[in-house]
Structure 1
Amino acid sequence: MEVDGAMTSLVAVSAYVPTTVSIESLQDELGLSATQLRRFRRMYGLSDVCRSDEPEADMLLGAVSKLDFLAGQEERVRYVVRAKTMPAASPYPVNPMLGVRAALGLEHAAMFTVTDHACASGLLAVDLCGTLLAADGDPDALALILTGEKAFTHSAQVIPDVAIMGEATAAVLVGPGDGQDTMLGYATTTLGGPGGEVILDDDQAAEFRRIYPGAVAQVALEAVAAAGLTVDDIAMVLPHNVNKISWVRASGALGIPRSRIFLDNVGTTGHSFCADPFLNYHTANGLGLLAPGACYLMISVGLGSTFSAMVFRK
């Protein structure tokens, strides 16, 4: 994304992955039939998911504690942004983020939450922070984005016949300028209509699955075009971790080989709300899969049929 000639970069990304448990151990809790459980494992590629007994605030602090770049740079942080799927997880007027901000020594920073794009709100937060930092005009300013949340109700724990939710978290420092992970293009669309509901019945879920590959491909191609690239220039896709079969289908629509879609975390973390693309970046980067100068594509989809894609250059 470009604003008045200024670019947006990912300065640092960290992840906190709590204990994983087998999906079989959650069968009764999630109300899954034996058939549904087999489908999640054999067709969708799920094996384990993240679960934690910690409060959500501690999980977020766990991610930030691994963000080595932040130490000593706290005064540079202008914004603390919570990117969430679920609009509320605490009873009013409790706000765990006030304690998180205080624990980090960031009381001077403005704080707000974005939930408008459901699980795609993490990418929305990156775009929004880039806009705010560019408007501030301070080349040293930073924004801290916190993603991932507790799966605290049954409807937040499982998307029927699509995904089982995990509780990993990720912290992202965003800065202005052309850094080592520079955003080149962003596209997002909310389709609405059939398949665009947030709570899906069987027919609506079937419609969502039908439109999914084409909608993912369309928004991804728009982001790639905005970056001035073609799909041949994309070295890797960092998706949200709903299941493997949906990305096998989307691969054909995208025109990107399955081998370039990073799915290693699908079977071990579950779908960790807005954190997924950043968890995948953290893992892939740690494995040395993102070479300097390579272009990669983050894709995330939120219930309510919001499809988002963002292109970066390493």
Structure 2
Amino acid sequence: MTALDAVSVYTPAHRVPIESLAEPLELTDVQVRLFRRFHGLGEVRLDPDRSLADLLRAALDGLVELRGREHRVRYVIHGRAMPVVVPYPHNPLHEVCREFGLAHALAFTATHQSCASGLLAVELAGRLLAADADDDALALVLAGEKAFTRDARLLPGTSIFGEGASACLVSANGRRDRLLSYACDQRGEFDTEFGERTELFQREYRPSLAGVIRRAVADAGLGLDDIALVLPHNVNVVTWQRLCTLMGFPVRRVLLCNVPVNGHFFCADAFANHRTAVERGLLREGDRYLVATVGAGAGATFSAMVFEH
């Protein structure tokens, strides 16, 4: 059974108030107030002195469980929202693989589900390990990106992106944080690159996410009351408040404390929230918890996973 053997997260110490981003992001005073007061976004974490490779290095430096087991890592997958992040021929994924003794591993990037690609990477890792002849094989899932352009820093009217990274060691037979189910709904009609589709996407966003969450919970043989905690994508606070109202799920069981201080970490939100939940003792042995995220761009992807801690 696919399991998260270890999770490491790097979050920059440098936090920037969203008011200071008004000029570079071309936000009006009204838009800034909307982000802070309505969406619950106060600051975002940025690390202007680190490259994408540096962010991934920082996450890997904290993954102490990898040391001495590098030879067992067969696959390295970078779950990424942006299809292009550095100019050719630079390749930060292969660069960090060489530096951390992982040059032998099959390394590739998954991007086509935008911010939901992090969960896709975990699913792909599990499938590859299940088909591998070596029962001791491991996979490494990386996430994290630079907010390097205005389009990469801002989801208009919805969220502001921050910078951080995560490294997750995945096994096929781990005993903790075991994956119970994965549900994914890809909707090509929600192509937000075209204005006429934006309204449709916004109208169907919460019902579509609620649907995939219910499916993941049902596929795990559970009900919503069995879910001890939800680890959300950090798009904003109000989205999750309204989603909980729609689903009849208590918002106090959604971990939202990172939204005001981190911003949206692209594909790394789930892993950053996992670390917070573990550090704060919010997950006990045997608890079932849910991770949910949405990727938007050329279409939309709604994804959810249920794990047992």
Normalised-by-shorter TM-score class: over 0.9
Which of residues 174, 191, 200 is equivalent to 1:197? 191
Deviation for aligned residue 1:253: 2.3
Check the 8 A contact 2:192/2:198 in 1, yes or no.
no
Superposed CA offset, 1:213-242 (max 9, x none)? 111110001111111111110000001000
Which of residues 41, 64, 82 is equivalent to 1:46? 41
1:16 is aligned to 2:10: yes
Check the 8 A contact 1:185/1:312 in 2, yes or no.
yes
1:305 is aligned to 2:300: yes
Check the 8 A contact 2:18/2:44 in 1, yes or no.
yes
Partner of 1:73: 69
**Counterparts of 1:306 and 1:254, CA distance in 2:** 19
Which segment is superposed worse, 204-213 or 275-284?
204-213
**Counterparts of 2:199 and 2:290, CA distance in 1:** 26
**Counterparts of 2:129 and 2:60, CA distance in 1:** 20
**Counterparts of 1:141 and 1:24, CA distance in 2:** 47
**Counterparts of 1:198 and 1:111, CA distance in 2:** 30
Superposed CA offset, 1:52-93 (max 9, x none)? 121010011101111111111111100111110000111122
1:149 is aligned to 2:142: no
Alignment map for 1:232-251 (pairs within 5 Å): 232-251=225-244
The total of aligned residue pairs comes to: 305
Percent identical across equivalent pairs?
A: 49
Deviation for aligned residue 1:20: 1.3
Deviation for aligned residue 1:148: 1.1
Tell me which stretches of 4 or more aligned residues in structure 1 moved more than 4 Å: none
**Counterparts of 1:98 and 1:66, CA distance in 2:** 19
Alignment map for 1:157-236 (pairs within 5 Å): 157-193=153-189, 196-199=190-193, 201=195, 204-236=197-229
Partner of 1:121: 117
- Partner SS, residue 141 of structure 2: strand
Paired AA for residue 67 in structure 1: L
Partner of 1:64: 60
- Partner SS, residue 6 of structure 2: strand
Check the 8 A contact 2:9/2:165 in 1, yes or no.
yes
TM-score, normalised via structure 2 length: 0.96
- Partner SS, residue 191 of structure 1: strand
Q: 1:198 to 1:89 in 2, by over 3 A?
A: farther
**Counterparts of 2:194 and 2:58, CA distance in 1:** 33
Partner of 1:262: 255
Q: 1:200 to 1:60 in 2, by over 3 A?
A: farther
Which of residues 95, 111, 131 is equivalent to 1:135? 131
Paired AA for residue 229 in structure 1: L
**Counterparts of 1:205 and 1:286, CA distance in 2:** 38
Check the 8 A contact 2:5/2:174 in 1, yes or no.
no
**Counterparts of 1:149 and 1:156, CA distance in 2:** 9
**Counterparts of 2:257 and 2:44, CA distance in 1:** 13
Deviation for aligned residue 1:13: 0.6
Partner of 1:31: 26
